[in-house]
Amino acid sequence: MEGTIAVFIPIIALMIPIVAIWTKHQQKIAEMQVHTTADATAEKAAQYASKITALEDRVRVLERIVTDKGYDVATQIEALRDQRRVDESDSGVSIETLRRERV
């Protein structure tokens, strides 16, 4: 029994530094993965912020159009629709036919 224990003591003594080195290596790998994930997340957040800013700018423009000329635009659209109805009834050509010709 004593001979068996004597064999395991040097093996265990050699394993301790090996396990310590392996553990430190695993810790460094985990830290690198955390930094990589954090960088990717920060980059995506910046891209989303840029897209949000662009969309907010577009919404502001649309709000300005609606509030400044809202009634005028609606009136102009209805006038164009009325004109199409008149043109359609005069020529006998449907709106669908006109749309296909434009494409």
Mean pLDDT value across residues 92-101? 62
Is residue 54 within 8 Å of 60, Cβ to Cβ? Answer: no
Mean pLDDT value across residues 6-17? 84
Q: pTM for this one?
A: 0.39
Picking from 78, 79, 85, 77, the residue whose alpha carbon sits closest to that of residue 98 is 85
Angle, vertex CA 74, rays to CA 70 and CA 77, nearest 5:
140
Give the residue carrying structure tokens 């749309």: 99
What is the three-state SS of 62-97?
Answer: HHHHHHHHHHHHHHHHHHHHHHHHHHHHHHCCCHHH
